[in-house]
Structure 1
Amino acid sequence: MIKTIFFTVLTVAFFYIVWINNIFAPHEKYEMPQEHGKIAMDYKYAKEGRELFIQNCASCHSVRYDALYLTQVQANPMLASLQEKYGKVLPRDVYEAVFMNDLNALKEAFGKVPPDLSTIYLVKGPEYLYNFILEPQKVLPGTMMPPVMTGRPEETAKIIAYLRSVSEPPPQEKAKRNLMGIVTIGYLIVMGILIWLWRDRILKKMGLH
């Protein structure tokens, strides 16, 4: 029984660390003005933010989850035929293999291929993104990212609203996923307890416990 309790506590602690209080997430404190924070959190600005992203960011960054690829890739006639075959969101290996030359050109210019930003909102959070996009050198000295949005805080907030809409589901869908996560964790805990109880019972029958 002690082992069962220990296993249950360990399972709950594990999911608390990686899901509720992610120790791997950045913990630096960044601030965002309240009025811009409201914009970044509002899905109605996502469409405008997407257009701003295309105009200012798509020459270096893609958002694969939204089938938004590099500007030079969008202009490549092969993209349409590949999307007919694989769907709008291309498999990563196909994308990197077919458009290797475009990616290598970015690598030569910046030292590495700028990352895809499909999940950057979840990884970094709105406050970090707001400050980094506005003043990249201040947040990350030595970065190769140009300050294309410096002095444009409201537009930056709209870009963040777009990135949020891509990486984070709408409230109703998010609630469903959270509920599913809770149910899954509960199921794993219950199954863990039952397995340990069943194990103890078998060992007792065998005279090994």
Structure 2
Amino acid sequence: MVKAVFFTILTLAFFYIIWINNIFAPHERYEMPAQYEKIVQDVRYAKEGKQLFEQNCQACHSVRYDAVYPSSVQANPNLKVLQEKYGKILPNEVYESAFYTELSQLKESFGKVPPDLSTMYLSRGKEYLFNFILDPQKVLPGTSMPAVMTGRPEETAKIIAYLKSVSEPSPQEKAKRTLMGVFTIAYLIVMGVLIWVWRGRLLKRMGLH
């Protein structure tokens, strides 16, 4: 029993350190003025942010969660054909094989294929994105990202509002996921108790308990 409790605590501590408070990851802090943070949090700016994204970012980047692909891919007539077959959001293997030429050209221009930004808001946060989009070289020296939004903080905030709207599920989906999480945890707890009881009975039958 003591060993089980010890290893449980050790496991929880491990996941806390690695996933929640990763002491090995860099912890740069970036600032974002309050007036622009309000724009990011306001879903009404997401539509305008999408338009700004298409005008300034889509030449290189995709937002596949919203079926937005790089301009060269978007111009390929095969895209619509494949979307009719597989849906608006293409499977990764289909996307990479069907548009190998377009992606290779992007890789040749920038050294690697510019990343998809569907979950960038969740992985990097609004402060990082705000500073990086405004001044890529300051945040990541040597990056091939062009400074197309320098001096345009309000428009940058609207683009981030769009990325936020794409990366976050709808309230209905959030509620569904929360409920699923509760049921999953409850199931694991019940199964853990049943296994512990069964283990005790088994050991008792074997004369080891």
Normalised TM-score (structure 2): 0.89
User: 1:120 aligned to 2:108?
Assistant: no
Describe the shift of the 1:171–1:36 C-alpha distance in structure 2 as closer, same or farther (beyond 3 A).
Answer: farther
Q: CA deviation at 1:207?
A: 1.9
Deviation track 1:109-145 (CA, whole Å, cap 9, x = no partner) reads: 1111111111111110111011100110000000000
Q: Distance in 1 between matches of 2:195 and 2:10?
A: 15
Which structure is higher in RCO with an 8 Å CA cutoff and minimum separation 6? 1
Partner secondary structure for residue 145 of structure 2: coil
Structure 1 unaligned regions, length at least 5 = none
| Deviates most, 183-192 or 28-37 | 183-192
Q: Structure 1 counterpart of 2:88, which letter?
A: K
**Paired residues, what number?**
208
Task: Work out the percentage of aligned pairs sharing the same amino acid.
Answer: 72
Once residues 54 and 196 of structure 1 are traced to their aligned partners in structure 2, the CA distance between those partners, rounded to angstroms, is 56
Please report how far the alpha carbon of residue 205 of structure 1 lies from its aligned counterpart in structure 2 after TM superposition.
Answer: 1.2
Once the two structures are overlaid, the 10-residue window that deviates more, 84-93 or 175-184, is 175-184
Q: Which residue of 1 aligns with 2:106?
A: 106
Superposed CA RMSD: 2.2
Contact 1:58 1:69 in 2 (8 A): yes
The answer to which of 195-204 and 53-62 deviates more is: 195-204
- Which residue of the partner structure matches residue 34 of structure 1? 34
Q: CA deviation at 1:41?
A: 1.4
**How many Å separate the matches in 1 of 2:99 and 2:16?**
40
Deviation, 1:195, is 1.6
- Which letter does structure 2 place at the counterpart of 1:203? L
**Corresponding residue number in structure 2 for 1:188:** 188
Q: Deviations over 1:139-158 (max 9, x none)?
A: 00000000001111111111
Matches within 5 A, 1:36-55: 36-55=36-55
Query: Aligned pair 1:207/2:207, yes or no?
Result: yes
Runs of at least 5 residues in structure 2 that lack an aligned partner in the other structure? none
Structure 1 length as normaliser, TM-score?
A: 0.89
Q: 1:13 Cα shift?
A: 4.4
Q: How many angstroms apart in 2 are the aligned matches of 1:129 and 1:26? A: 16
Cα deviations by residue, 1:92-124 (Å, 9 ceiling, x for unpaired):
100000100000001111111111111111110
Distance in 1 between the 2:182 and 2:85 partners?
37
Q: Residue 3 and residue 189 in structure 1: after superposition, are their counterparts in 2 closer, same or farther (change >3 A)?
A: farther
- Distance in 2 (alpha carbons) for counterparts of 1:85 and 1:75: 18
Q: Which residue of 1 aligns with 2:60?
A: 60
Supply the distance in 2 between the matched residues of 1:16 and 1:171 (Cα, whole angstroms). 27
Shift of 1:191: 2.3
State the one-letter code of the partner of 2:43: Y
